Structure 1
Amino acid sequence: MYHLIWRILPGPWPAKLVMALGLIAGAVALLWFVAFPWADPYLPFNDSTLDVESPES
């Protein structure tokens, strides 16, 4: 798949590298601002099962 994307991108390899990095940055931004906020209520990362007590001093 990555080879197909590399072949489709126009230009010499430095231009392809810049465009490929732009595609990666776009995918990361899409996930960061759209997919992760949508899925946040369904993820169990903030559900703690430990009861932490403050140390007495």
Structure 2
Amino acid sequence: MYAALWRILPGPWSVRLLIVLALVAAVAYALIVHGYPWAMQTFFPTPDPVIE
């Protein structure tokens, strides 16, 4: 899979590396900003802070 991705990217080796690093950074950002908070709220809800 990674070899196929590497082959379809345009440009020389250095440009391909920059594209792959940008893609990895974009996926990491999306997970940190959207994925992990959703998972924490869905699967590990915080208890109600109000004590009666």
TM-score above 0.5:
yes
Which ranges of structure 2 fall in alignment gaps of 5 or more residues? 47-52
Which ranges of structure 1 fall in alignment gaps of 5 or more residues? 47-57
Q: CA RMSD in A?
A: 1.7
**Which structure 1 residue ranges, 4+ long, deviate > 4 Å from structure 2?**
none
- Identity between Structure 1 and Structure 2 (%): 41
Task: Kindly tell me the number of residue pairs found equivalent between the two proteins.
Answer: 45
Query: What's the counterpart of residue 38 of structure 1?
Result: 38
Structure number with bigger Rg: 1
Q: Normalising by structure 1, what TM-score?
A: 0.70
